[in-house]
């Protein structure tokens, strides 16, 4: 008899990535994540599944996830581990649960919210740079997959002011800020993520600004930045919303808009993808803007638009 997927139909609530927490434990109304070295000695709930890195249980209405990841293992490849071991097989589902267990693993791996996230960011940025030096393919590595995308973006963006739309964790804005050639604004719909990025940037002595807003309605004047980057954002948006984001990027940019998307046969639901692109669809998007554009393929698709 197969075990059914854990599907929790509860409205998403805001996640505070920097809220105080008990060392080794993250808990909210939907999930409880425990580092195995802190696991309850008298736990009686039988595991639903044990994978290479995780033990999944239910406690009442909560998902309970145990893990034994070490601080040096804490980086953005966690997304791939969760997707491969728990979400792709159907043991867990939904972007809200994904975000919560991801946050929980980070927070439970290192004591203190800011040290935990700083460890996560520092490890991820280090491994991105390592992949730039030795770009060997790494199976199931989201860092290896994104490293060439970040490298190409940095090569395409000229000196000057940059607005990055849909920054999520903000690895790209941090890399742009490190170059010292750019004045960087990171933007994302999530206030909590932008607050986290601001705290991590300050802790690391990196200078960038953050802005919490819908990428289709950015509260900045026309032509207020030199370049707008929209990197792996449009696959998360329905077509009408995506077109509005591109129009907004063109309104804001003085020199160019750089768009990148993955090429997929099916949207990766665990990562919140809702649409697919190929080169023809990307070219159609460029034509719909009425602006000059170029399309290229390199670890996905690239659309560069001239806002003039």
User: What is the predicted pLDDT for the residue at 270?
Assistant: 65
Residue with tokens 């996640």: 15
* CA–CA separation, 96 and 99 (whole Å): 5
- CATH 3.40.50.150 for domain 141-305, yes or no, is yes
Closest by CA to 68, choosing from 116, 34, 100, is 34
What pLDDT sits at residue 155? 96
Q: What pLDDT score does 259 carry?
A: 98
User: For each of the chain's 308 residues, which pLDDT tens digit applies?
Assistant: 333 334 333 333 478 899 998 999 999 999 999 997 655 544 557 899 999 999 999 988 899 999 999 999 999 999 989 989 999 899 998 888 999 999 999 999 999 999 999 999 999 999 999 999 986 665 668 899 899 999 999 999 999 999 999 999 999 999 999 988 999 999 999 999 999 999 999 999 999 999 999 999 999 999 999 999 999 999 999 999 999 999 999 999 999 999 999 999 888 776 778 999 999 999 999 999 999 999 999 999 999 999 98
Regarding beta strands 54-59 and 49-50, do their DSSP bridges make them parallel or antiparallel, or are they unpaired? antiparallel
Domain ranges within the chain, ordered by starting residue: 1-134, 141-305
pTM equals 0.89
CA distances 105 to 136, 220, 229, Å, are: 27, 36, 30
User: What's the pLDDT score for residue 94?
Assistant: 84
Q: What are the E-state strand segments in the chain?
A: 25-27, 31-35, 49-50, 54-59, 62-67, 160-165, 182-188, 209-212, 225-231, 253-261, 293-297, 301-305
Predicted pLDDT at 199: 97
pLDDT at residue 271, as a whole number: 73
């Amino acid at each position: 008899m197969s075990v059914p997927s854990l599907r929790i139909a509860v409205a998403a609530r805001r996640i505070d990535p920097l809220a105080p927490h008990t060392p080794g434990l993250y808990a909210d109304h939907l999930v409880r994540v425990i580092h195995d070295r802190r696991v309850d000695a008298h736990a009686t709930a039988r595991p639903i599944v044990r994978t290479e890195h995780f033990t999944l249980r239910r406690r009442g209405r909560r998902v309970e996830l145990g893990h034994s990841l070490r601080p040096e293992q804490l980086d953005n490849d966690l997304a791939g581990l969760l997707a491969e071991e728990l979400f792709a097989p159907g043991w867990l589902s939904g972007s809200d649960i994904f975000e919560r267990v991801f946050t929980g693993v980070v927070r439970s791996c290192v004591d203190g919210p800011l040290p935990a996230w700083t460890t996560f960011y520092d490890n991820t940025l280090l491994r991105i740079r390592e992949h730039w030096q030795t770009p060997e393919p790494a199976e199931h590595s989201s860092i290896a997959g994104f490293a060439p995308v970040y490298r190409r973006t940095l090569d395409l963006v000229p000196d000057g002011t940059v607005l990055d739309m849909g920054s999520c964790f903000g690895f790209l804005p941090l890399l742009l800020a490190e170059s010292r050639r750019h004045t960087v604004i990171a933007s994302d719909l999530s206030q909590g993520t932008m607050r986290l990025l601001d705290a991590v940037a300050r802790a690391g002595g990196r200078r960038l600004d953050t802005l919490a807003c819908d990428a289709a309605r950015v509260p900045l004047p026309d032509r207020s930045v030199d370049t707008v980057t929209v990197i792996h954002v449009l696959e998360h948006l329905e077509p009408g919303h995506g077109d509005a984001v591109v129009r907004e990027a063109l309104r804001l940019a003085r020199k160019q808009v750089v768009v990148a998307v993955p090429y997929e046969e099916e949207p990766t639901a665990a990562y919140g993808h809702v649409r697919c692109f190929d080169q023809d669809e990307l070219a159609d998007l460029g034509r719909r803007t009425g602006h000059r554009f170029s399309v290229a393929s390199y670890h996905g698709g690239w659309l560069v638009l001239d806002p003039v």
